[in-house]
Amino acid sequence: MKKIGVLFGVENTFPGALVDKINSMDIEGVSAEFVHLGGVQMAVPSGYAVIVDRISHDIPFYRAFLKNAVLTGTQVINNPFWWSADDKFFNYALASQLGVAVPRTVLLPHKQYPAQINSRSLRNLEYPLDWDAIFDYVRFPAFLKPHDGGGWRDVFYVQNREEFFAAYDQTRDLCMILQAAVHFKEYFRCYVVGQSEIRIMSYDPHRPHEQRYVLDPPPYDKKLLKRVEKDGLTLCRALGYDLNTVEFAVKDGTPYAIDFMNPVPDADLHSVGEKSFRWIVDAVARLAVKKAQTTNKLRSPLNWAGFLNGPLAKKDRPAR
Ligand SMILES: Nc1ncnc2c1ncn2[C@@H]1O[C@H](COP(=O)(O)OP(=O)(O)O)[C@@H](O)[C@H]1O
Ligand SMILES: [Mg+2]
């Protein structure tokens, strides 16, 4: 029996629905359950053919468990190696090279450093920073946000230098980016699954949290939706994510990619609505089953490139 495990935290609706959906598909030799684990022995298989990971960004123990699981033959959605390597600033730089529109973005040195870091540790760093050059490039209004953030934590909208410094002073030892604000007309959040399926959802960031997904969207320009679809897929293929939400802010018909490092996208019935909830449960269930049905064999020799690329497809394996 190939087991598909779901690893999750506080969320209530998605994990159970996913397990039920997979089991109701009644696929011979495949079953789903919640992952159960304790101390993890090195290099011992996890017992799961596939794990859908919804929580390892918050719990380092789970991330380390998942890497060990990949090493021993489990396919994890999302690949923990890609995810560990990623950050938002890299994402924007990559997007710009892929021809996807992104707002002008600058990576900033930390406001504060941990206690053991002193000025001798920072001798490579320009001081004071050339703030004029940074502001001239980005231009206000702008967003100051963590280079590795999530859930709108420590996100500041700043309209001038004074507001910028007031916000920057609150950022502790976080690594921050400053990004030009897109004054958008439309805003989309898109589920992208298996690097091949995409669902574009209308989203209004100005509404209260639980009403942000617009359940009765107006009709959108078809060309715009095509471009959003193409750019969303391009980003997830480059980043190696099998499950992601890609956010776009649209200005004058151009979709600017704003946030595409959401490897545990919000999939709660009560925020995304019934239709999108069904869509994401179905799409992830089919993907997990498909992965469970392909026998995993890591690329040889064992190295980081192999872990990042995932299992060898059957057709690419050397004949014995
Ligand atoms: N450059 C930008 N232009 C317009 N809105 C932005 C921009 N950056 C962030 N935002 C707004 O702030 C929200 C949170 O920023 P985001 O980059 O998505 O961080 P998080 O990972 O915390 O969700 C976005 O959903 C969007 O509404
Ligand atoms: Mg976001």
Q: Which fold has domain 87-101+182-260?
A: D-amino Acid Aminotransferase; Chain A, domain 1 (3.30.470)
Strand, coil or helix: 56: coil
103 lines ligand 1 (CB under 6 A): yes
Is the CATH number 3.75.10.10 carried by domain 2-81+285-316?
A: no
Which protein residue's CA is at the shortest distance from atom 27 of ligand 1? 205
User: How high is the pLDDT of residue 315?
Assistant: 56
Per-residue pLDDT of the chain (320 residues; tens, 9 = 90+): 999 999 999 999 999 999 999 999 999 999 999 999 999 999 999 999 999 999 999 999 999 999 999 999 999 999 999 999 999 999 999 999 999 999 999 999 999 998 899 889 999 999 999 999 999 999 999 999 999 988 899 999 999 999 999 999 999 999 999 999 999 999 999 999 999 999 999 999 999 988 999 999 999 999 999 999 999 999 999 999 999 999 999 999 999 999 999 999 999 999 999 999 999 999 999 999 999 998 767 767 788 888 888 766 555 555 54
Spatial CA neighbour of 10 closest among 58, 78, 71: 58
Ligand 1 within 6 A of 150 CB? Answer: yes
The DSSP output letter for 124 is T
What's the pLDDT score for residue 109?
97
Q: Whose CA is nearest to atom 15 of ligand 1?
A: 152
Domain extent listing, the chain: 2-81+285-316, 87-101+182-260, 104-179
**In angstroms, rounded to a whole number, what is the distance separating the alpha carbons of residues 180 and 190?**
22
Dihedral sign, CA of 90, 91, 96, 102? negative
User: What homologous superfamily does CATH list for 104-179?
Assistant: ATP-grasp fold, A domain (3.30.1490.20)
